[in-house]
Amino acid sequence: MKIEVAEFAGFCFGVKRAMDMAWKELENAKENIYSLGQLIHNTQAVGKYKEKGLKVIDAVEGKISGSIIIRSHGVSLDVYNALKEQNVSIVDATCPFVKKIQDIVYKSFSEGKAIVIVGNPKHPEVIGINGWCKNSAKIVKTIDDIESYSWDDSEYSVVAQTTMNIDQYEHIKKKLTATVDHIEFHNTICLATKERQDASKILSKKAQAMIVIGGYHSSNTQKLTEICSQNCPTFHVETKEELDMSLISSYSHLGITAGASTPDWIITEVVEYIQENSK
C-alpha cells in the first residue's frame, strides 16, 4: 500500500510555536503553569501537557501565582491588564499573525475609525480581537449579517479572522464596499489554512481514500474532512486506535492529512500503524 501525507498537514506555525513555548515552560517549571483556555483542540496533546503539570483555566478568578500561557488565539487588552495585576509571569504565545490583527484594530480604533471583524463572533480569536477596540466591532460572519447593522458616515477599518474562508471573505468584502462609503480592508487571513485545504484537495483527488486526523471538535479538521469526502471515501479519526483496518486495507493508495491542531507524533503513529497492519 502506498501511503502519502499531504504536503501541508498538522500544526501550523502559530500553533507549533505556542505548543513549543508551553512545553519549554513546563520543562523548567518550578511553580504553577496555567493556560488560559485549552491550548489546542486535541484531546491527546492536551492530555500530554496536563500530565506534565499544565493547569487549564477558563478565566482568572481570585489570586493565582506562577506562569500563565496565552494561547495562539490571543486575548483582549482587558485580559492582559487583568493578568498584569496577578502575581504571574505572562508567556504570550499569541500567534504573531493574530497579534498583527490586534495591532491594526487598536491603531485604527485609536484613530477614530469604526472596526469591522469578518469572522465568527463566538471564536476566541475574534472575541480577543474585539477586545482591542473596547468590544465595539461590528462582527460579520455571513453576508446577511451586513444588513443587520446600521452603517453611518464613519470611516470603517475591516480585518478578518485568520481562518476565514477566502471566497466567503471576498463576497462579504464586495457587499461591504457597496454598502459603506469610507472603508479600508486589511486582508488578515492566514495562508496556513488555505495551504492545508489545497494540499488535502490535491491529494484526495489522487488517492483512493483519505484519512483525516484531528480532534472531533476542531473546525478546521472538520473542514478538511468535508473537502476530502467530495473526492474519495474519507475517514476522520482522532488516533490510530480508531482506524478500521478491515476497510482501509482494501485501498492501494491512501492519503493522509491532519488538522492544524494535530501534533506530528500522532500523524507518525497513524502512518506507522497502517504500515504495520496492512501487510
Q: Is 72 in the site for ligand F3S (CB under 6 A)?
A: yes
Question: Of the two residues 35 and 193, which places its CB atom closer to ligand F3S in the complex?
Answer: 193
Residue carrying C-alpha cell 474585539: 130
Q: Which residues are within 8 A (CB) of 196 and not within 5 positions of it... i.e. 6 or more apart? A: 6, 8, 9, 12, 220, 224, 257, 259, 260
Among 49, 97, 132, 251, binds ligand F3S (CB under 6 A): 97
Q: Which three cell numbers stand for residue 248?
A: 482501509
Other Cβ atoms closer than 10 A to 96 = 10
Among 5, 69, 203, 260, binds ligand F3S (CB under 6 A): 260
d(CA 279, CA 275): 7
Told to judge if 125 belongs to the known catalytic residues of this protein, a careful annotator would answer yes
Among 4, 7, 61, 125, the one annotated catalytic: 125
93 is a site residue for ligand F3S (CB under 6 A): no
Contact present, 258 and 266 (Cβ < 8 Å): yes
Taking alpha carbons only, the member of 184, 181, 182, 178 closest to residue 160 is 184
Sole window of 185-193, 235-243, 249-257, 268-276 interacting with ligand F3S (rule: CB under 6 A): 185-193
State the nearest-atom distance from the C-beta of 176 to ligand F3S, in Å.
Answer: 22
Residue in this structure with the C-alpha cell 483527488, named with its chain if needed = 205
Smallest distance, Å, CB 39 to ligand F3S? Answer: 11
Closest residue to ligand F3S, judged by C-beta, is 14
Give me Rg for the CA atoms of the chain.
Answer: 21
Residues annotated in a binding site for isopentenyl diphosphate: 41, 73, 123, 218-220, 261
Binding-site residues for [4Fe-4S] cluster: 12, 95, 190
Where does this chain bind ligand F3S (CB under 6 A)?
A: 12-15, 72, 95, 97-98, 162-163, 190, 192-193, 260
Which active-site residues does the annotation give? 125
